[in-house]
């Protein structure tokens, strides 16, 4: 447990350019405090002290805004940057050297039993607001873009963006088989309305021409 805490402390120092010292991280970083509380809660949880473990987890959530279930399995060298709003579910598994930003959810879909939460392999980065849902696996060295919703397995060395999440890069190369544009529902709705208005205007023009022809058969300026 203490070795993992040391690794988490060093990870924060290495990956956060704003960090000035280990003491600053230890006493002021909410992400590190949440991980430190999780390490103790997980140790107790494995020894069947479940109530005490959940109590520590609840106190850490109240103080840091980060909720980590004590049954989750988290490797060493994990860095939670800011972290407010982060949720890590009960059956989540996180490997070593993973970086997680604020607002991330590693949760379930409500449709699975047993293993209900994601598996995050080593050296993964999950950006702010991303949601990884269900018993999916995110491969090593992959990156999840901000606000993405991941519902399927992600291959190693991939970059995922969008809702739902889609692979746009793999092993540093553009993944050309997919449209990389993010959906804009407002723009799509305006396009649908404009198309419908055009159809209505065309029908009105046809009816107007038919009425004019019926009134004046010698009017050659109106074509049906």
Question: Burial of 60 by CB count in 10 Å (0-12 exposed, 13-18 middle, 19+ buried)?
Answer: buried
The number of beta carbons lying within 10 Å of the beta carbon of residue 75 is 17
pLDDT on residue 222: 47
Give the residue among 75, 72, 60 at the shortest CA–CA distance from 8.
Answer: 75
Widest CA span in the chain: 97
Per domain, the residue ranges of the chain are 2-174, 184-224
Considering the entire predicted model, what is its pTM?
A: 0.72
- pLDDT tens, position by position, for the chain (224 residues)? 778 888 888 999 999 888 889 999 999 999 999 999 999 999 999 999 999 999 999 999 999 999 999 999 999 999 999 889 999 999 999 999 999 999 999 999 888 788 999 999 999 999 999 999 999 999 999 999 999 999 999 999 999 998 888 888 887 767 655 444 555 667 778 888 888 888 888 877 776 676 666 666 555 554 44
pLDDT on residue 86: 94
CA atoms within 13 A on the CB side of 79: 18
Please tell me the distance from the alpha carbon of residue 182 to that of residue 9, in angstroms, as a whole number: 36
Please tell me the distance from the alpha carbon of residue 191 to that of residue 6, in angstroms, as a whole number: 54
Please tell me the distance from the alpha carbon of residue 87 to that of residue 102, in angstroms, as a whole number: 9
Q: The domain 2-174: what is its CATH number?
A: 2.160.10.10
């Amino acid at each position: 447990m203490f070795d993992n805490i040391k690794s988490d402390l060093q990870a924060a120092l290495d990956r956060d350019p704003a960090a000035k010292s280990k003491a600053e991280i230890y006493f002021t970083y909410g992400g590190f405090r949440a991980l430190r509380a999780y390490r103790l809660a997980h140790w107790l949880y494995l020894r069947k002290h479940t109530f005490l473990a959940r109590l520590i987890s609840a106190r850490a959530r109240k103080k840091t805004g980060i909720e980590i279930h004590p049954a989750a399995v988290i490797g060493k060298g994990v860095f939670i940057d800011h972290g407010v709003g982060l949720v890590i579910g009960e059956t989540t598994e996180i490997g070593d050297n993973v970086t997680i930003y604020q607002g991330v959810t590693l949760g379930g879909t409500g449709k699975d039993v047993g293993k209900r939460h994601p598996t995050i392999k080593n050296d993964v980065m999950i950006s702010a607001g991303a949601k990884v849902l269900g018993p999916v696996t995110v491969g090593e060295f992959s990156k999840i873009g901000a606000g993405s919703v991941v519902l399927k397995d992600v291959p190693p060395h991939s970059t995922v963006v969008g809702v739902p999440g889609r692979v746009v890069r793999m092993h540093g190369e553009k993944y050309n088989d997919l449209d990389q544009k993010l959906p804009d529902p407002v723009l799509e709705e305006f396009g649908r309305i404009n198309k419908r208005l055009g159809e209505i205007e065309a029908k009105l023009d046809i009816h107007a021409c038919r009425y004019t022809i019926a009134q004046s058969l010698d009017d050659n300026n109106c074509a049906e």
